[in-house]
Amino acid sequence: MKIKAALIRQHSIWRNHKEINLCYVKKIIKTTLYHNIFAKLQSVQQAEVVILLTNDHEMQNLNFTHRKINKPTNVLSFPDQVFDWQNLSTLDIQDNYIYLGDVAFGYNTIAKEAVEQQKTFINHFTHLLIHAILHLLGFDHQHDSEAIIMEELEVNLLAKFSIASPY
């Protein structure tokens, strides 16, 4: 599967983290999509995601516009379509291409959380991108049973990057 991704650095503060580049982002997306729980997607020739790297001010605007929550957040996911991760076998894939959606990251909140949680910025970003891709694929953590499945999947995927469980 080919991963097509756009990485938009809307805020210059992201230049402090050159390791967060298109190659790394695509690797995270591909690793996530190649987990055996997503076997149906592995026949797709191309998957696409757009990533916005911005600041807390813009994240607060996006959070308020889309969720009516007037505060910044670390990451927001905007799926292109409604996915049911439990029923991907029924997914109608057109032209061997799937647009998963958009993901926005707020630098300031991520940096603050990384310090508070004693993680490196890159490890926290990696976790949040995996988390966001899972949301694009229909995962949610509103109910305990699904949150447990999502967390276990995140831990499994983070291990592929030699990142310890955040839970």
Phi-psi region of 68 (alpha: psi -120 to 50; beta: other; left: phi over 0): left
Residue 61 CA to residue 142 CA, distance in Å, equals: 23
In the numeric block, the tokens 């001010």 are attached to 57
Residue 84 CA to residue 42 CA, distance in Å, equals: 16
Residue 163 CA to residue 158 CA, distance in Å, equals: 5
The reply, when asked if residue 141 is annotated as ligand binding, is yes
Tokens of 18: 């050159």
Q: Are 167 and 159 in contact (CB under 8 A)?
A: no
Side chain identity, residue 91? L
* Residues making up the binding site for Zn(2+): 131, 135, 141
* Residues making up the binding site: 131, 135, 141
